[in-house]
Structure 1
Amino acid sequence: MSAVHLKSAKSLLLIPLLGLGLLAGCGNNDAPAKPAATASTAAAPAAGYLAKIKARDKLIVGVFTDKPPFGFVDEKGRYVGFDTDIARQFAKDLLGDENKVEFVAVEPASRIPFLQSDKVDLILANMTVTPERKEAVEFTNPNLKVAVQALVPQGSAVVKLDDLAGKTTIVTTGTTADIWLTKTHPDWKLLKFEKNSESLQALSTGRGDAYAQDNLVLFSWAKQNPGYRVLPEKLGGEAPIAPAVKKGNIELRDWINTELAKLGEDKYLLKLYDQYVRKQLSDDTKPEDVIVEGGKWQG
C-alpha cells in the first residue's frame, strides 16, 4: 500500500491500514505462507498492469541461471533455456520485440518474495504448483509437468526412498523436494543449499548420499555426468509447473493464459522441447510426459 493512498485516509482508518501494511511484509521465503499473511499481502492492481508494462516498455521476468535446460547462462553470458525463451516470446507478443525483457536471477526460495516485493512482473523458474504456493501467488495455466525423485551415485547401496532414512539427503532450499521432505520426513537429515548448482556440487564431492529435486533436472544432469542414477520412486505424485504472477494480478495472469493457449496452437512448447530438452532425456521419453502444450493440464 503506497503512502499516496494513505494521505487521503481518515484518521480512524490508520490503525487497520497499518495492520495490513505489517502483514504485507510477512513471508521472506518460498515456504508455505500463513493464510493471514498471504491473504493480506499487498496485491497487484486488478487492472492496468499491462498498461504499466507497456509504459515501461519492458517485461521483467525472474528466471533461474543454473538449471539447464530450463534457465541458465551460456558461455557468452546470455540468458538461455526453455523458460527464458518463453519469456522472450511473451515480450515479443506484448511489446513487439523479444529483446524488451529484463531477466532477474532468482533462487527457489526468492521466487515468491520477488513477486511480492514487485522486483519482477512474473516468475518463469520451474515453480511447481502447490496448495501452499497458490495462497501466496497467482499461478497461470501450466507449461510443464514434473515429479520429484532422488539422484544417487551409481555404486550407492540406496535402491529405494526409505533407504535414505539415517543418511544425508541434499536439497535446494525452497524447492518442492525441500518442502515435501521437511513435512513428511522431519527426522531425516537434510543438507540444504541456496543454489541448484551448489547442491549438485555437494553430491559430486560426497557431502551427501542423495540429491532430491525435480526429476527433469536429475535426468538431465545424470545424462551429462555418468556415474549417477535416479531412484525410480517418486516423492509425491506428478504435479504441474506454471508461470506465476503477484497475488491479485488477474489481468497479467489471464493474458498469459491466453498467450499460452495461442502458442499451443503452433506447438510452440514442442519446438522448445526439441531445442532444449529432448537431447537431455532418454530417447524413449515422450514430449507429452514433460510439456503441457496450450496450458491444458490433465492431472
Structure 2
Amino acid sequence: MGVAWAMAAPGPAAADAPGSPTLERIAATATISLGHRESSVPFSYYDEKHQVVGYSHELALRVAEAVRQSLRLPALTIRLVPVTSHNRMPLVINGTVDLECGSTTHTIEREAQVAFSHSIFIVSTRLLVAADSGIRDFPDLAGKTVVVTAGTQAERLLRRWIEQQSAGVHVLAGKDHGDSFRLLASGRAAAFMMDDALLYGERAKARRPADWQVVGTPMSYEAYACMLRAGDPAFKRVVDDALARVMRSGEARRLHERWFRQPIPPRGVNLDWPLSDALAALYREPNDRPAERP
C-alpha cells in the first residue's frame, strides 16, 4: 500500500542529510517504508475499512513528512508494511522497513541490534482478566494459565517471574494481541499479561468491555519508541527532531486526546485513559532512554 504526498515547500530547517544510507535510499526512490502493527489498538492497527490508524501511526506520518522536507522531495510515497512481534526487528535490520512505529518497547538488549527514536509512550505491564475472575494481582495466578503475545517484552518478563517465584503458571503465546485476547475470552487462559495500554485497547474492542478489568501491580514500566536500523545517526536525528517538535508543540497531547480520550474505530469505544505524569514529562522533555523497571 502506498500514498503519494502532495508537493509542499520545505521548512527553513530542511536540509539534505549526507552519510545516511537510509536517507540516501529514500531520496533515490522517493519512497519510505513504514512498519505498522495490525492489532495494537490504539497505537497501530486496522480500522473497519482495513486502513492503518492509531496514535503511533500518526507519529510515523509526521516523521515521514519531516523526512520529505529534509530531502526536499516534491512528493514521498509511503509504503506500509505490516509487522508482528516476531518479525519487526528482522524486517528493520534487513532493510524491508525503514521505520517501525507501533508498540515496540525500547530495551537495552534490543539496542545491540537496532536503534530507537525518542520514546513515544510510557506504559506498565499488568493483567487483563474477567471482572468476576477473582484475580487481582500476579500472586493470584498460581496454578492458572496466562496468555502473552509471542515475542514481546511481556513474555520474557512473565517467564522470568514464573521461574523466580516457582509460581506454577502455564503460559500460552498468542500470535498477536488480538489472538491473545481471543485465548482469554475463550476461557483457555485466566489472564492476559501485556502493556496496560494494549490491554485497554483489547478491552475496548470486546463485545462487552465491562466484562473485563485491567488489574495488578505493574511488573514493569516500559518506554515505547519507533525502531530504525542501527548505525545511521543522521536518519535518527531527523526522526528524533520530528518527534520532539510534535511533543513540544502540544500536537502530541492532541493526538493523545484523540486516541485515548475519545471514541476510536472500529467500534467507537472510548478508552478513557488520562494523560499520565510520566507521559506528560516525556512530552516536555523528549528523550530516547528506555524506561526503568520498578
TM range (shorter): 0.7 to 0.9
How far apart, in 2, do the equivalents of 1:287 and 1:58 lie?
35
Count of aligned pairs? 253
- Once the two structures are superposed, residues 102-155 of structure 1 have per-residue CA deviations (whole angstroms, 9 ceiling, x without a partner) of 111111121111111211001112111112112221111101101110111011
Which amino acid in the other structure matches residue 65 of structure 2? K
Which amino acid in the other structure matches residue 249 of structure 2? D
Asked if 1:295 corresponds to 2:289, the answer is no
Q: Which has the higher helix share?
A: 1
SS of structure 2 residue aligned to 1:295: coil
Q: Which residue number in structure 1 is paired with residue 275 of structure 2?
A: 286
Cα RMSD of the aligned pairs, angstroms, is 2.2
Contact 1:91–1:98 under 8 Å retained in 2: no
Q: Report the alpha carbon displacement of residue 229 of structure 1 after superposing the two structures with TM.
A: 0.9
Q: Residue 118 of structure 1 is aligned with which of 95, 98, 113?
A: 95
Q: Report the alpha carbon displacement of residue 92 of structure 1 after superposing the two structures with TM.
A: 1.8
Q: Residue 93 of structure 1 is aligned with which of 66, 69, 73?
A: 66
Asked if 1:127 corresponds to 2:104, the answer is yes
Q: Which residue number in structure 1 is paired with residue 127 of structure 2?
A: 150
Q: Could you tell me which runs of 5 or more consecutive residues in structure 1 were left unpaired when the two chains were aligned.
A: 1-44
1:223–1:78 CA distance, 2 compared to 1 (3 A): closer
Which amino acid in the other structure matches residue 114 of structure 2? V
Contact 1:147–1:239 under 8 Å retained in 2: yes
Q: Residue 56 of structure 1 is aligned with which of 21, 25, 29?
A: 29
Q: Report the alpha carbon displacement of residue 230 of structure 1 after superposing the two structures with TM.
A: 1.2
Q: Could you tell me which runs of 5 or more consecutive residues in structure 2 were left unpaired when the two chains were aligned.
A: 1-17, 263-269
Q: Residue 257 of structure 1 is aligned with which of 232, 235, 240?
A: 240
Which amino acid in the other structure matches residue 286 of structure 2? G
Q: Which residue number in structure 1 is paired with residue 169 of structure 2?
A: 188
Contact 1:88–1:99 under 8 Å retained in 2: no
After TM superposition, the score normalised by the length of structure 1 is 0.78
Tell which structure's C-alpha radius of gyration is larger: 1
After TM superposition, the score normalised by the length of structure 2 is 0.79
Q: Which residue number in structure 2 is paired with residue 222 of structure 1?
A: 203
Once the two structures are overlaid, the 10-residue window that deviates more, 171-180 or 87-96, is 87-96
Asked if 1:76 corresponds to 2:49, the answer is yes
Q: Residue 231 of structure 2 is aligned with which of 225, 232, 248?
A: 248
Aligned residues with identical type, % of pairs: 23
Q: Which has the higher strand share?
A: 2
Contact 2:127–2:215 under 8 Å retained in 1: yes
Contact 1:151–1:230 under 8 Å retained in 2: yes
Q: Report the alpha carbon displacement of residue 289 of structure 1 after superposing the two structures with TM.
A: 4.2
Q: Report the alpha carbon displacement of residue 195 of structure 1 after superposing the two structures with TM.
A: 1.2
Which amino acid in the other structure matches residue 210 of structure 2? P
SS of structure 1 residue aligned to 2:79: strand
